Amino acid sequence: MLSYCTNVHPAEDLDGVIRQLHEYSGPIRRTAGLDTLGVGLWLPAELAAQLAGSAEDRAALHDVLSAEGLQLHTINAFPFGGFHNEVVKLEVYKPTWAERERLDYTLNCAEVLAALLPEDTAGSISTLPLAWREPWTRQDDDDATAAFAELSSRLRDLRERTGRTIRVAVEPEPGCVLDTVADVVEWLGARIHRGIDPEFVGLCVDTCHLAVSFADPADAVKEIDAAGLRIVKVQASAALHVTDPSDPAAREALEGFVEPRYLHQVRELQPTGVLAADDLPEALTDLPRENAWRVHFHVPLHHVPSAPLRTTVDVLVRTVAEVGQLAYGPEVHLDIETYTWSVLPGASVGITEGIAAEIAWAGSNLSPTQPSLQNC
């Protein structure tokens, strides 16, 4: 099922989420000319707890989804809350998977999703790759392992109780404890014997993050599959690519993407490896600018930035094609995640028209093995 992620909209309570579905999601569906549109819902932690504990509130949300022609298959449980604060940056990685609040939040999202899923479908929840890389201790790692083992057990119990399968997808991100796909594969693979069940815990491949790491999509998908792990979700997103960051025109263009709210990690591909900067201002100052850059800035899928910048939509296209070759490929959730519309320089259209254009782009450019691209 193709969806778009609602973390682009600043809503922190039930009234706000209902309002955003009426004012944005429904109009996006109609503008895109679709009978049904998937939404990848973002629920802040307090709202997730409220919905998990109230059948009445879940029913109210269900009624709005139905009235607006929307379906819920996936939840983004990466940001815990405050995702549209003036400054987010490193706060988005808190609480970590070493803290009980993260597990409780994820379990609440699972309860909500199990209640709102369409019949005979599985649900997915994407989550952070444990934490930002520092501070992270051996004890933190042990606590996170125990949390994912409990998560596996609780999701198994949820399926027995409700008949609904909910899977949690760990989303590698540059700069985090689990920085790359290879990191997640290694971490999960080493802990299957410690109670983490690959039936319920797999990977979310964010194609912006994948591109920033300069990973090859085919190799990444094959590595996950060979390890006996499952790709639960693909976040359809594109990074910025700069072939020659030493070009003054490239520097000037990149400076337009410097903004205070979100972290924009940068990687430079060197013959000996990848150099890292934790944010774009740091990269503009510290990286040698000798080879190509990739910048973690989620650019609208259909957007063509002014030269000499370009985007990495080719990584998205190749990833979706590779995932489509897997035996379970058509079951993988594909969620457009461009949360940066509010900070995108030079945006010339409104958010409704912009997201509808992304959906149209996906329908024209992504693999036909995703049946929902043709029908939703």
Taking residues 54-66, what's their average pLDDT? 98
**Burial class of residue 204 in the structure, from the number of CB atoms within 10 Å of its CB (0-12 exposed, 13-18 middle, 19+ buried):** buried
Looking at residue 373, its pLDDT comes to: 40
| Number of Cβ within a 10 Å radius of residue 94 | 16
268: in domain: no
270: in domain: no
Looking at residue 326, its pLDDT comes to: 97
Element holding 231 (H helix, E strand): strand 231-236
Looking at residue 347, its pLDDT comes to: 74
263: in domain: no
46: in domain: yes
Q: How far is CA 214 from the centre of its chain?
A: 18
Looking at residue 1, its pLDDT comes to: 75
248: in domain: no
282: in domain: no
Q: What is the CATH number of the domain that holds 226?
A: 3.20.20.150
Is residue 34's pLDDT more than 90? yes
Is residue 217's pLDDT more than 70? yes
Looking at residue 349, its pLDDT comes to: 78
Looking at residue 371, its pLDDT comes to: 39
Looking at residue 197, its pLDDT comes to: 98
Looking at residue 376, its pLDDT comes to: 37
Looking at residue 374, its pLDDT comes to: 35
Is residue 227's pLDDT more than 90? yes
Is residue 368's pLDDT more than 60? no
CA distance 136 to 123: 30
DSSP conformation letters of 87-106: --GGGGG-S-TTSHHHHHHH
Taking residues 183-189, what's their average pLDDT? 98
294: in domain: no
Half-sphere exposure of 153 (CA within 13 A, CB side): 9
Under the phi-then-psi rule, with left for phi > 0, alpha for psi from -120 to 50, and beta for the rest, what region is 175? left
132: in domain: yes
Count: domains in the chain: 1
Taking residues 118-123, what's their average pLDDT? 95
Structural domain of residue 356, as residue ranges? 2-237+312-375
Residue of 82, 183, 92 whose CA lies nearest to 131:
92
Q: pLDDT band for 367, please (50, 70, 90 cuts).
A: low
Mean pLDDT of the chain: 95
